[in-house]
Structure 1
Amino acid sequence: MPGHPPARSRRAAERKGDVRERAILDTCEALLAQKGYDAMTVGDIAQGAGITRGALYFYFGSKQEVVAALVARTVEHLWERSRVTAQTEEPRQAIAAAMRRTVELWNEHGPVFRTAIDLSLTVPEIGELWSRTAELFIEAITAVLERAGVQAGTGPDQASAMAGALCWMIERTFYHASQESREKLQKASSTCEHIWLISAGLTA
C-alpha cells in the first residue's frame, strides 16, 4: 500500500529497535556496577551502547527512564526465575530453593536491585515495580509458611504478617551484604534461611 513500508522492512526495523534497546539496558546495567546511578550519564549509556545521545532519546527520555526500564526487565526476570518452585513442594525444600535462587539473582543483578531500592521512594514507576515484586514474594512466602502449618491470617504470629517481615528482612540484608562480597551474601542468605525455617517451625 502506498506510503507504508513492506512488512519485511517493518519487522527488520522492529528487530533493530529491540537490539538497540537491549544494548542500552545492558550498558546501563554495566555502568550501574562500574559507576553507580549518580555518576552515570546519558552520554555514558549512549557511548556504551554504540549510539548517539539523539538516538538514545528516541527510546528513552532520560537516564531515569532507562533505569526504570532496566528495573522492569530485571524484575520480570527475577519473578520468572523465582516462581519455578511448585506450590506442592515440601516447605523445607521450597525455602532452600527460594534462597538459592535469590542469591543467584542478587549476584547477577545486585547493582540493579540496589538502585531500585534507592530510587523506589522518589521514582513512582520504580517504586510501584518494586512494591509489586515484594507483594508477589510475600504471597509466595505466605504459601510456604501455611504449608508448613503456620496459621493463615494477618495477626502478628500468622502467615501473612510473618511473610511480610521475612521479605523485607531478606531485602535489606541482601542489600547490604551484596555490596561487600559474594561470600558475605552467601552467609547472609544462610542466616535469612535459618530465620525463615524458625518462623515456619522447621528447625527441629
Structure 2
Amino acid sequence: MSTDATTAGPVRRRGGPSKGDQREAAIVDATRRLLATKSVNELTVDAIAKAAGVSRTAFYFYFPTKQAVVADLLDGLWDRFGDSYGWLDTTGADRAALREHHRLVAEVWREHASILSCTTGPSLDYQPLLEWADRARARFVDGLAAKVLRDRAEGVAPGGVDAPALAQMVFDLRDARMRVVASADEAEVEQLLADLTEGVLRLLYGVVG
C-alpha cells in the first residue's frame, strides 16, 4: 500500500556537517596549525593525522598527500587576494589605491605566511601547488599589463619596457617584499609598504609626486 504525504513520517534532514565533513575540516585545520612551526617538507601525514584526531587511513580517504591539504588551504586565500586588486581597474598612478592594495596583500601574508611559503622551493614539485602559484602570478601580471597598456594609451604612463615584462618585474618586487613584511615587526610594516608603493610607482610611472 502506498503512503501519502499526510501519513508519511517526518523526513530526516541533515542538521549540520557530517562526520566526514568534520574529519576533513579537522585535517585542514591541523595542517594549518602545524605549518605555523614546520615547513611542509618537515610535516608528515602521521603528524597531521594525529593532530587532527584521525587515523592515517582516514587521512588518505580525504587527501592523497599532505601537499593536497596545502593546496586546499591556498584555495581558501584565492578570493582574499582577488579582493585586493581594485587598483588594477584604476587609471593612472592612484597612489592611494596602490597603497591599499599593498595593505590588503600584506594582511594575507602576515596571517598566512606559513601557507604561502609552500608555493616556493621544493614544495613546487607538487603540481597543484605549482598550478596555484602560476595562476596567482598570471592573474596579477595579466591585470597589471592591461592597466599599463590602458595608461599608456591615455598618456599617463611612459612607454618603454614591454608591458607584460614590466608587470612581471612588479610582481617579483611585490612578492619578495611581502615575504619581508610577513615577518617584520608591526612598527616596521608601514614604512616597508610605503617604500614598496613608491618603488612600484617609479617603475611604472617614473618620478611621481
Structure 2 spans left out of the alignment, 5+ residues = 1-10
Q: Which has the higher contact order (CA 8 A, sep 6+)?
A: 2
Q: Which residue of 2 aligns with 1:150?
A: 157
- In structure 1, what is the Cα distance between the partners aligned to 2:21 and 2:83? 22
Find out whether 1:164 has 2:168 as its counterpart: yes
**Of 93, 105, 108, the match for 2:96:** 93
Q: Which residue of 2 aligns with 1:195?
A: 199
What is the correspondence of 1:52-201 to structure 2 with a 5 Å cutoff? 52-74=55-77, 76-84=78-86, 87-88=89-90, 91-119=94-122, 121-146=124-149, 148=151, 149-150=156-157, 157-201=161-205
Structure index of larger Rg? 2
Question: Residues 18 and 194 (structure 1 numbering): CA distance in 2 closer, same or farther, change over 3 Å?
Answer: farther
Question: Residues 203 and 175 (structure 1 numbering): CA distance in 2 closer, same or farther, change over 3 Å?
Answer: same
Question: Residues 116 and 197 (structure 1 numbering): CA distance in 2 closer, same or farther, change over 3 Å?
Answer: same
* TM-score, scaled relative to structure 1: 0.78
AA partner of residue 189 (structure 1): L
Q: Which deviates further from its counterpart, 82-91 or 32-41?
A: 82-91
Matched residues, number: 194
AA partner of residue 171 (structure 1): D
* TM-score, scaled relative to structure 2: 0.76
Name the % identity: 27
RMSD: 3.0
- In structure 2, what is the Cα distance between the partners aligned to 1:105 and 1:66? 18
Structure 1 spans left out of the alignment, 5+ residues = 1-6
Question: How far does residue 84 in structure 1 lie from its aligned partner after superposition?
Answer: 4.9
Question: Residues 203 and 185 (structure 1 numbering): CA distance in 2 closer, same or farther, change over 3 Å?
Answer: same
> Helix, strand or coil for the counterpart of 1:178?
helix
Flag as ranges the 4+ runs of structure 1 deviating above 3 A. 11-19, 77-80, 83-86, 143-148, 179-188
Asked if the contact 1:25–1:66 (Cα under 8 Å) also holds between the matched residues in 2, the reply is yes
